[in-house]
Amino acid sequence: MAVVDSPDSLDSTFASLYKKSKRHVEFEKINVPVEGDPIECDDNSVDDDCEDSAFASASTSVNKKLKRHAKVEKTNVPLEKVKVEDDLIEYDDHYVDDDSEDFAFASASASVNKKLKRHAQVEKLNVPVEKVAEDDLIECDDDFVDEEEVEEAVCDNLDNDEGSSSAEKKRRVVQVNEEQESAFYGEAVPDSEAREQWPHRYIRKDKGKATGAPKCLNPQDDSSQVVQAMCHFTQAMVDNQIYKLGDDAYVWAADGEDNYICKIVELFQAVDGVRYFTAQWFYRAKDTVIKSLDQFIDNKRVFLSEIKDDNPLDCLVKKIKIVPIPYDASLQLKESFKSNSDYYYDMKYLLPYSSFVSLPSDVSSPDSESDSTISSDRDTAEVNESKQELKLLDLYSGCGAMSTGLCLGADICGVNLVTKWAVDLNRYACDSLKVNHPETEVRNEYAADFLLLLKEWEQLCASCSLLKHNTHPHPLLKEGDEDEEDDNDGGDEDEGLGDDEGGEIFEVEELLQVCYGDPKEIKKPGLYFMVRWKGYGPDEDTWEPIEGLDGCQNKIKGFVIKGFKASVLPLPGEVDIICGGPPCQGISGFNRFRNSANPLQDPKNKQLEVFMSIVEFLKPRFVLMENVVDLVKFAHGFLGRYALSRLVGMNYQARMGMMVAGSYGLPQFRMRVFMWGALPSEKLPQYPLPTYNVVARGLTPTEFELNAVAYEEGHSFKLKKELFLEDALSDLPPVENDERRDEMAYIDEPKSDFQRFIRSRRDGTLGTILYDHRPLQLNEDDYQRVCQIPRRKGANFRDLPGVRVRADKIVEWDPDVERVLLASGKPLVPDYAMTFVGGTSSKPFGRLWWDEIVSTVVTRAEPHNQALLHPLQDRVLSIRENARLQGFPDYYKLIGPIKERYIQVGNAVAVPVARALGYSLGLALKGLSGEKPVLSLPPNFPCLEELVTNVESLDKL
């Protein structure tokens, strides 16, 4: 009898395997009474290590990180003879006593999320047999019989079974008791068939190499080791339940956690005797990037992954039913599937770029073909998209940079995308957009009011019988055909409004506009119409609530019909793409009172909810949302996860990526988050890969490293040389601090490819007029300070007299220099410059240089805490210079006070980034997007001449 107290006593061979599997095994006392001599190995007494080798079998796992605790109970095994060959125990034609307990074993397990910790206890197994023959065992090799096969896969001795016929002489699994046991069931897959279907599992007998290249099944595991198989099966029995290939099942998880969910895609016995199943995993929403923000997603909805790994067979818990649901299944069919299954899935979840993607078109559910109610017109590429106008709604549009870039990029791809509607609260930004896009319906209002207006507008259209789908009519507008109304006097019976005393009656001549809100500022929000009064001019136009226009039904209906025909407002299903960057000021690093527990409770973050609600109401084909990186950095990415959850909950495909503006041809770093959404019937747009090198000025959030749009490691690619300030600005005319002109002529010819491209008009010819090349005029004190900053690289306030820099780079006053005062009596070096960031910053009054870039174009032009000074001129960068750093074409004119124009430029999406995304969107609109989450832009993008051939070739695909 031997007592094994710890795994340290394993012999060297199994100790090595033990270390590789990273598995903790606790062995209790094992009493082995035998008749005659002790258990022998090569005619010598068996020491503790020899006994250990009979019980512990190490297992290779794909991710090698599973730690499973197994406890082996007392095991009594009376034997007549045991022979040990090659560390494996075999029985020599002798029987196992009825009272014997089975050998205990523990095997390591691999799990996709590396968290499986299962406590296994081997129970009694009574297997009375008269004789055990090799031919009766489930075998994978004539020369190999594993102890576990003897214990759990012993077959009846058919030769000694008088009641058996020749037809029954097949391999069978002995029925075990109802305690937890596992075994393969039925015959093994023929060797040739198994080797053909799973070549990576089998070793060539001639060269000792796998017949297929060993590949890691789990793409997140850096291991290239593949468990080698002895044989494969199509069925297995665990806890008296039969599992087949393709079945769905629960898999043991850690205590207190929900069981994992998988599809069984492989059943095999490894060469070390361990029985495995290969799992293709399903994610619950909470297992994805969405995590705890899964309240918008059905609890029965799961997402198929592409991750597969190997797990011990006895980790299976229960067979379940998971059904795939086609995106075009009818609502009735979907509900039927849901009610008759444990789970359902209609998308895949892929870790790169946190992607939720529709299932391939060949995935379908039973009887789904005849129950579809959605047209399949969108199933295939619509190359004729370029022949029709596609409509874009730009929310939180600012001056229109994002929508402008998208339309430019789509045009390169041959798609006619037009910004049909735009909404922003800043009236100067709206004016700028309208000047550059006169075809756009620009609305200067809150996005939340715009959403309420859309809902009211849909009801108004329903009251005028303009909609095909069922919508409740507006309660304050009577239904019916306008032609059926009394046409006396060309209008309603009473189209006037009188005062309370029955005095003058004002007659409505025309309704001009509609809005939702409180335009009269009387704290009574609602639906209002702008009225032109008969006999009065535009100066007397007023906003009137719909309740006060009860006698003007014809006027209202006429306005609605006219607006419907002109598409003054979008209706559900009419929008091809919604883009926008909802402001989330509550997560800004400048906000000292950020709510990290629940950022959505901060009113400054509510616009993200509004944005998603507008998407939910209008149901566009595509969605593109932009935001700052704090969306995924602050509060563990709370708002980013929320946005993805909303999109997926609305049944949109979605993915999230982070793009750097400088990687697309700008002397600016500027990393931003871009989130794509697409209806399940559409191709989900890809992210365009970088085309330029860029000087790094920021870090990618660690948790979202897989979301940074970049080339994979080891991928060969060639990027264009990085751009610097000189490449972008050196051709612009010199201007002074007090420049007043909004327009001027160029003086020099373009000095770089960037300058030549940025100066081009819409028709491709070089422009002659330069707009907005004027800086913020500094006050006299600041101007005097700027004039004393040296014109050299790295110069800043530290170069002014009276400032001393210590060895630790912190500034202090020089006691040997008297503090210099300006003509106004204020100090040359202001206190705030000395104390900014604890005296460590060199940004106050910092001068930029030609071979540098800027981290981010900001909305303010004061040089008090930013390096904004021109390299050679005593002023801050002009509006146009900032606009160039954002990629605005020189023809793009801005409206409003100087500070407002800086704000418009600083808040904008970099135009080259939007252009690249627009090209990707154009491919998706034409059904030409690839399956990968990223794409390479054509050479010399975005020069039109170079892309004609590429676009034409894409159309022919």
Please, which residues have CB within 8 angstroms of residue 302's CB and are 6 or more apart in sequence?
261, 282, 283, 284, 285, 322, 343, 344, 345
Q: Treating both helix axes as pointing N-terminal to C-terminal, what angle do 638-649 and 606-618 enclose, rounded to 10 degrees?
A: 10
Q: From the centroid of its chain, how far is CA 179?
A: 44
Q: How many CB atoms lie within 10 A of CB 793?
A: 12
Task: Give the residues across from 358 on adjacent strands.
Answer: 347
Residue 584 among the catalytic residues: yes
Choose the catalytic residue: 407, 413, 584, 943: 584
Q: What does the block give as tokens for 601?
A: 């409770």
Strand locations in 787-922 (E): 803-805, 811-813, 846-847, 867-869
* Contact residues for 27 (Cβ-Cβ < 8 A; gap 6+): 4, 5, 6, 7, 52, 55, 72
How far is residue 622 from each of residues 407, 647, 684, 934, 942, measured CA to CA in Å? 14, 11, 8, 17, 23
- Residue 591's Cα: distance from chain center in Å? 26
- For residue 558, give the nearest of 497, 472, 491 by alpha carbon: 491
| 608/643 Cα distance (integer angstroms) | 8
Report DSSP state, residue 99: T
- Tokens coding 938: 């054509």
Produce one character per residue of 30-47: b if its CB has 16 or more CB atoms within 10 Å, e if not.
bebebeeeebbbeeeebe
Contact 443, 418 (CB under 8 A): no
3-state secondary structure of 653: strand
**Which H or E run includes 83?**
strand 82-85
Here the tokens at position 229 are: 């198989």
The residue ranges of DSSP E strands in 313-460, in sequence order, are 316-320, 322-324, 343-350, 355-358, 390-395, 417-424, 441-444
Nearest to 918 by CA among 570, 409, 522, 466: 409
User: Which residues contact residue 825 at a Cβ distance below 8 angstroms, ignoring those fewer than 6 apart?
Assistant: none
Name the amino acid, one letter, at 655.
R
The angle formed by the CA atoms of residues 629, 631 and 635, to the nearest 5 degrees, is 115
Q: Which residues are part of the catalytic machinery?
A: 584
